[in-house]
Structure 1
Amino acid sequence: MSVEENNLNEMLLLRRQKLEDLKQMGKDPFKEETYDVSNKSDEIADNYEQFEGKEVSLAGRIMSKRGHGKASFADIQDSKGRIQLFVKVDNVGEEDYEHFKTYDIGDIVGVVGEVFKTKMGEVSIKVSEIKLLSKSLQILPEKFHGLKDQDLRYRQRHVDLIMNPEVKESFILRSKIIKAIREFLDDRDFLEVETPILSTLAGGATARPFVTHHNTLDLDMYLRIANELYLKRLIVGGFDKVYEMGRMFRNEGMSIKHNPEYTAIELYQAYADYNDMMDITEKLVAYVAEKVLGTTKINYQGKDIDLTPPWRRLSMEDAVREYAGVDFSQIETDEEAKAVAKEKGIEVTDGMTRGHIINELFEEFGEAHLDQPTFILHHPVEVSPLAKRNADDPRITNRFEAFVNCWEIANAFSELNDPIDQKGRFEKQIEERESGNDEAHMMDKDFIRALEVGLPPTGGLGIGIDRLIMILTNQPSIRDVILFPTMKPIGENKLEESETEE
């Protein structure tokens, strides 16, 4: 064991001994249940003239201490910021002052005192009463090196929030963004609903699901990859406008913009189409940006982005022509498309068609150019199993994806409401699954029966909330906007090493 590790263990043991001593004196801090807090730190600091000379009560975590014989200074941090305490033996009494001198960085205290300014002009509290409300048995990272390791910050978000207050601001913005999204839809008479997270089929998207087992029913079930098929059943049932915002789960790769558990919203509107969904998408994003940030012109990681409607509209085939240099108006057969794909370095697998290759070429050559908000329209039917065919060209669908910062943030289409066509699409997806594509859609006979009852013309839209929040809060990774992102477990010893390494 290193000298540093030995010192750390001794300090941790000392904290536990202090707790035991407090218990022996009948001052167990963990027995405290409430504390009367009259004000927060920022309220006092920002309105000093109103509070000068007045008595206030606060509670917070000790973040620093400076002792000077019979008088000491300390900084406490509450949910709104930090404020300085002036603790003097003449004001709190000798016994409480001696106890205060034993308090550690990280301990949570409640204080009563008078608001004043020091000679240095710092707003402070002249403490008349101080009480230990919770004993910290761990040592905050700043004691050694600060919480700098990004991986550790994600694993110990509670410590990250204490040591890096700016992190909290991102999550406060997240909450405001979600609230603004709901406001936008509620004001347009959309009804918020809830649908199952567990289902016997993973439907509504092409993605690999998480599988679990229901013991009582003795059957495998799936965490939802999308809530689309249930929401469309509600449109069949007579609701005109519905939405649901919540967690989705996809058993896929992880990256700066992918987390297996993420937040998305899906909404559906009867008697509307994909053009209406484009209108909603750009107006919703602009509304949220204006509401939360006060502007639709933002900067993301050094890149200026203008979210002001209207957004650019470009068909997928036009995007492939522009960015890949391939004109699919001159390519009619699968064989011709495969030849072009090979020339462009695209891997061609069994079962790929002209439509699959258009999509592959767009993803390979087109997405990287879509910095500014752009709608990519008319995806091939092969990659759009739930979208309505285009009346003029049945090889494509009335679908769009919205891109900002070269990322897909939304997916929408005129919903396929022809049950016969839908069944045929599902059968094609089953063929793909049998060929090894475990992300292909499953057959959902109950959904087919729902369509047979009659789904009115409907527009549907899905938005990736976490990616949108990343862009609006200028965060480089999806893990920076999810409080507790998915992380690979590490051993307890390894975690302890990470906590103390230089």
Structure 2
Amino acid sequence: MEQEMNLNELQQIRRQKLQQLCETAYNPYEVLRFERTNYSTDILNNFESMEGKEVAVAGRIMSIRGHGKASFVDLKDQEGKIQVYFRINDVGEEKYAIFKLLDIGDIIGVRGEVFKTHKGEISVKAHDFVVMAKAIQILPEKWHGLKDIELRYRQRYVDLIVNDESRKNFIIRSKLISRMRHYLDARGFMEVETPILQTIPGGAAARPFITHHNALDIDMYLRIATELYLKRLIIGGFDKVYEIGKQFRNEGIDVKHNPEFTTIELYQAYTDLDGMMELTENMIKTLAKEVLGTDVLLYQGIEIDLAKPWTKMTMREAVLKYAGVDFDDIQTDEEARELAKQRGLEFDDNATKGQILNLFFEEFAEENLIQPTFITEYPIEVSPLAKKIPDKQGFTYRFELFIFKMEIANAFSELNDPFDQRERFEKQVKAREAGDEEAHRMDEDFLTAMEYGMPPTGGLGIGIDRLAMLFSNSYSIRDVILFPTMRPKDVKQTNEGRESDQSQK
């Protein structure tokens, strides 16, 4: 209570200072613009050529030192921090009196001369300044930053002000997306936009968010994937398309999952799974070099070597290696279910051998996949949009890329047989009727599109949030989403289910 009272007292003092500023006919909120000539890093990195020159810098006050007739301020802008020297003889008595009303957190613009102090610190000697915003709220203590994790996510604006590591994360994320676009554009891909509001959510096994369109008087869904619309564009004659955008899945929250997340999906006609594998590996290696300057990442204390050839193994090989079970020796669904029961795994009463294999992989293999690993040959039951492998009954041309136990990418040789696709959709419909809320829905328009003819196509989806986690060495997905989904403070907690790991492209 005492600490709260002290904070309130400090806020009241700041309000009084603001009132004093306004009474001197100096209302900071009436300032419309400030012509900045340089960022802090321009000056710090080019001192020899800028010494003695007049500059204009702007930013937020992060510290104030000194007293009497001279003071130092650390001014923080988008690029970094620079010291500013205020002296009564340089700015005048009237302006120095205004300076005395400033606090940590206030936003100012400064015009002055670049110089170096007796201690050798590159600084700006203020000749004039303007106050552009008064901070009424108190920033966290500078040496400790904003340590309350939940508060960092709820008040990202404060987190970005005081935690340089958070700022760095989002700069990395921005560069990652920018360079990803450049990589694909340079290879003939076309960026497109497809509907977020859909009448039939498809392209993934997930529960959608439901809304209602008043004018049409119909329920609509926030998309769970972009896949089916992008495939329509391949059918329409575009050979290479991609979309970067938000997906929405009405599921749980944990360090790898957020209900609103960002993916890139791309489709290329006349190629296959191997083509997608080559593109995935080359693109991620290139992005690491361009964004981070290295292809060896340090993630949670472990070196991730992107330069070495990436491991490839089938799902069956991974389960044999990490669970000690060879599913080639299992002949029936009943045998698979009995084995799962012996291992203490939970499964549906009607689970098939393919579903049990996938369950074994998730339980025993995923946690061992640290270095980049392509897992191939997924069971058809969990891959309703991928082509069958002709000589391997029950398996599909599909891979998922795992790095440090996380699924990063998902790719198919896309199913282009409309009759096979209809049959698989029908099985999904039956699964929904049996209670599987994540099963695919029947999309007649997509089936009609396929009947016009779809060329052999490779498709790839990458979770941009998770890739940003790897590139920025962030433990939680919330550390790379500017404004992650949070329960309002005044809403009581209810049980939250974990988001399904069986996220499709």
Interval containing the TM-score (normalised by the shorter chain): over 0.9
What does 1:188-337 correspond to in 2, within 5 Å? 188-308=187-307, 310-337=309-336
- Give the corresponding residue for 1:68: 67
User: How high is the sequence identity, in percent, across the aligned residues?
Assistant: 59
- Give the corresponding residue for 1:368: 367
SS of 1:430's partner is helix
Q: Give CA-to-partner distance per residue, 1:376-435, whole Å, 9 cap, x none.
A: 111111111111111112311111111111111011111111111111111111111112
CA contact (8 A) 2:105 2:139 kept: yes
The Cα shift of 1:21 comes to 2.8
Query: Across the two proteins, how many residue pairs are aligned to each other?
Result: 491
Q: CA distance change for structure 1 residues 243 and 309 in 2, over 3 Å: closer, same or farther?
A: farther
CA contact (8 A) 2:21 2:101 kept: no
The Cα shift of 1:166 comes to 2.5
- Give the corresponding residue for 2:423: 424
Code of the aligned partner of 1:58: V
The Cα shift of 1:145 comes to 6.1
Measure the CA separation in 1 of the matches of 2:347 and 2:75: 62
What does 1:2-13 correspond to in 2, within 5 Å? 2-13=1-12
The Cα shift of 1:144 comes to 9.9
**TM-score, normalization: structure 1?**
0.95
Query: Greater CA deviation, 271-280 or 225-234?
Result: 271-280
- Give the corresponding residue for 1:356: 355
Q: Give CA-to-partner distance per residue, 1:434-474, whole Å, 9 cap, x none.
A: 12111111111111111111111111110111111111111
- Give the corresponding residue for 2:119: 120
- Give the corresponding residue for 2:159: 160
Q: CA distance change for structure 1 residues 144 and 275 in 2, over 3 Å: closer, same or farther?
A: closer
- Give the corresponding residue for 2:497: none
Measure the CA separation in 1 of the matches of 2:472 and 2:103: 34
Measure the CA separation in 1 of the matches of 2:490 and 2:348: 41
Measure the CA separation in 1 of the matches of 2:393 and 2:28: 71
SS of 1:425's partner is helix
CA contact (8 A) 1:209 1:224 kept: yes
- Give the corresponding residue for 1:54: 53
Q: CA distance change for structure 1 residues 213 and 56 in 2, over 3 Å: closer, same or farther?
A: same
CA contact (8 A) 1:241 1:268 kept: yes
Measure the CA separation in 2 of the matches of 1:143 and 1:162: 10
Measure the CA separation in 2 of the matches of 1:297 and 1:106: 38
Measure the CA separation in 2 of the matches of 1:282 and 1:63: 43
Code of the aligned partner of 2:176: I
Measure the CA separation in 2 of the matches of 1:90 and 1:151: 46
Code of the aligned partner of 2:215: T
Measure the CA separation in 2 of the matches of 1:292 and 1:11: 42
SS of 1:142's partner is coil
Q: Give CA-to-partner distance per residue, 1:19-68, whole Å, 9 cap, x none.
A: 23322332111111110111111111222111211111111111111232
- Give the corresponding residue for 1:86: 85
The Cα shift of 1:167 comes to 1.7
- Give the corresponding residue for 1:497: none
- 2:464 is the counterpart of 1:465: yes
Measure the CA separation in 1 of the matches of 2:141 and 2:378: 52
- Give the corresponding residue for 2:133: 134
Measure the CA separation in 2 of the matches of 1:228 and 1:26: 59
Measure the CA separation in 1 of the matches of 2:481 and 2:248: 14
Q: Where do 5+ consecutive residues of structure 1 fail to align?
A: 493-502
CA contact (8 A) 2:21 2:98 kept: no
SS of 1:379's partner is strand
Q: Give CA-to-partner distance per residue, 1:204-231, whole Å, 9 cap, x none.
A: 0001111111111111111111000000
Measure the CA separation in 1 of the matches of 2:303 and 2:12: 52
What does 1:442-481 correspond to in 2, within 5 Å? 442-481=441-480
Q: Where do 5+ consecutive residues of structure 2 fail to align?
A: 492-505
Measure the CA separation in 1 of the matches of 2:92 and 2:58: 19
The Cα shift of 1:491 comes to 4.1
CA contact (8 A) 1:228 1:266 kept: yes
- 2:27 is the counterpart of 1:28: yes
SS of 1:398's partner is strand
Measure the CA separation in 1 of the matches of 2:309 and 2:267: 21
Q: Give CA-to-partner distance per residue, 1:98-145, whole Å, 9 cap, x none.
A: 111011111111111111111111111111101111111111112796
Code of the aligned partner of 1:477: S
CA contact (8 A) 1:387 1:415 kept: yes
CA contact (8 A) 1:282 1:309 kept: no
Measure the CA separation in 1 of the matches of 2:95 and 2:424: 75
Query: Greater CA deviation, 138-147 or 483-492?
Result: 138-147
SS of 2:100's partner is helix
Query: Greater CA deviation, 77-86 or 92-101?
Result: 77-86
The Cα shift of 1:350 comes to 2.6
SS of 1:76's partner is strand
Measure the CA separation in 1 of the matches of 2:297 and 2:383: 32
CA contact (8 A) 1:299 1:474 kept: yes
SS of 1:351's partner is coil
CA contact (8 A) 2:211 2:220 kept: yes
Q: Give CA-to-partner distance per residue, 1:277-301, whole Å, 9 cap, x none.
A: 1111111111111111222222211
SS of 2:244's partner is strand
Q: Calculate the aligned-residue CA RMSD, in Å.
A: 1.5
Code of the aligned partner of 2:275: D
SS of 2:141's partner is helix
Measure the CA separation in 1 of the matches of 2:2 and 2:316: 65
Measure the CA separation in 1 of the matches of 2:411 and 2:142: 50
Measure the CA separation in 1 of the matches of 2:16 and 2:329: 81
CA contact (8 A) 1:320 1:326 kept: yes
- Give the corresponding residue for 1:495: none
Measure the CA separation in 2 of the matches of 1:54 and 1:286: 42
The Cα shift of 1:88 comes to 1.1
The Cα shift of 1:146 comes to 3.5
CA contact (8 A) 2:40 2:82 kept: yes
SS of 2:118's partner is coil
- Give the corresponding residue for 2:177: 178
CA contact (8 A) 2:300 2:475 kept: yes
CA contact (8 A) 1:283 1:309 kept: no
Query: Greater CA deviation, 14-23 or 351-360?
Result: 14-23
What does 1:138-149 correspond to in 2, within 5 Å? 138-142=137-141, 146-149=145-148
Measure the CA separation in 2 of the matches of 1:413 and 1:146: 45
Q: CA distance change for structure 1 residues 233 and 38 in 2, over 3 Å: closer, same or farther?
A: same
SS of 1:102's partner is coil
SS of 2:378's partner is coil
CA contact (8 A) 1:401 1:412 kept: yes
